[in-house]
Structure 1
Amino acid sequence: MERADRNFAELLQELRVIQTGVQILFAFLLTLVFQARFPGLDSFQRGTYVTTLMLAVLAAALFTAPAAVHRGLFRKGAKKEIVTVSSRLAGAGMVVLALALTSAVLLVVDVVHGTPEGIAAAAVTLFACACLWGLLPWIMRRRLTEDGDQQAKPDRRS
């Protein structure tokens, strides 16, 4: 139970860091429609805007869901389940946030430089998020597992 409490506290701290970025992105998107240049966007740009807005909303919902799950199951003896579900929600939120950031970059670069450049910048953004948020932790987890396996095996050279 202490481990579940510690894991949940760590998860909530991670979500606090992420949530600030999501809130800033969402606020930025909400203000765009009130800018003088917004009516001049073409249909692709408007579609990208709406997609980005909805992805940001979904990311915010996924990142705040653990608090709602915890509140709904408070004092029900379900801490382990809360941690498991909350971790999955946070993982899904990271995927959606990567897509929201990618879409936001596509929109801004498309407006500033054009669609081909926007697509290229979006691809780089998605690649960077995939590498930093997915590949890097996977590589580190794999190395830790290999190191643990090597330490568990006796040294045959002696």
Structure 2
Amino acid sequence: MERTPSTPRDERPRNETEHERLDRQLMELLQGYRVAVTGVQVLFAFLLTVPFAVGFREVDDTGRVLYYVALFGAALASICFIAPVTQHRILFRLGQKPLLIRRANRFGICGALALALSITAATTLIVDTLLPDAAAAATAAIVASLCGWAWFVQPLLSRRAALAARSADPDPDEHRGDPGEGPDGQVTGGSGAASRETAPKRDDR
């Protein structure tokens, strides 16, 4: 007898209510932010001490521009990564978790862009003070390319492939990896989860 291949574990719909799904998505976002914020804090603290170093007086105009870009990028990344936490506190128990998740996702992308800019500028500044201009330019290109590929290009390609596979699936709801998130990042319903009307209501914690 021919056996029908079972659905992979990571493609099976999660058996969770809407509230449970929202809690999980928000916690996953905030957990990822903890990793990013640690790196931003270290970089930001380093940049704040640079102007007080004795050798900073020898930095030329190009180096000062690079420092300003790095400092502004680190500050902007800090704002973006901290914003979802403060908004969650302000909107506490108001039933706004779907809105918070969408905002947190956008803040995360903006924060990653700012952090990539800051890392590139800071690295280029340091190399520019030690090596010739050509080495600094090559360093900037390499760091920017690595950040762009690892943080944006590769996941965007995977997203495009996943959306193409989903559109080709005659029954996408049956093999959806995460039924709680639509293609546009908005929270949606899915099989195995209670609808908004039937899901048990409780405080938004």
Spell out structure 1 runs of 4+ moving beyond 6 A: none
> What does the per-residue CA deviation read over 1:91-136, in whole Å, with 9 as the maximum and x for residues that have no partner?
1001111111111111111111133321221111111111001111
Q: Where do residues 38-53 of structure 1 align in structure 2 (5 Å cutoff)?
A: 38-53=56-71
C-alpha displacement of 1:140: 2.1
- For 1:79, the equivalent position in structure 2 comes to 97
* Partners of 2:73 and 2:115 within 8 A in 1: yes
Matched, 1:109 2:127: yes
**TM-score computed with the length of structure 2 as normaliser:** 0.70
- The TM-score, its normalising length taken from structure 1, stands at 0.89
Rounded Cα–Cα distance in structure 1 between residues aligned with 2:103 and 2:133:
39
Unaligned ranges ≥5, structure 1: 154-158
> What is the aligned-residue RMSD (CA, Å)?
1.6
Distance 2:69 2:54 in 1: 20
> 1:144 aligns to what?
162
CA distance in structure 2 between the partners assigned to 1:3 and 1:46 by the alignment: 47
Structure number with larger C-alpha Rg: 2
Show the counterpart of 1:70: 88
Give the equivalent residue in structure 2 for 1:122.
140
CA distance in 1, matches of 2:132, 2:62: 11
In the TM superposition, residue 147 of structure 1 has moved relative to its aligned partner by 4.3
Q: Are the equivalent residues in 2 in contact too, given 1:69–1:86 (CA < 8 A)?
A: no
2:18 counterpart of 1:5: no
Identity %: 38
* Other-structure match for 1:59: 77
Looking at structure 2, the residues matched to 94 and 66 of structure 1 have their Cα atoms a distance apart, in angstroms, of: 14
Bigger proportion of residues as helix: 1
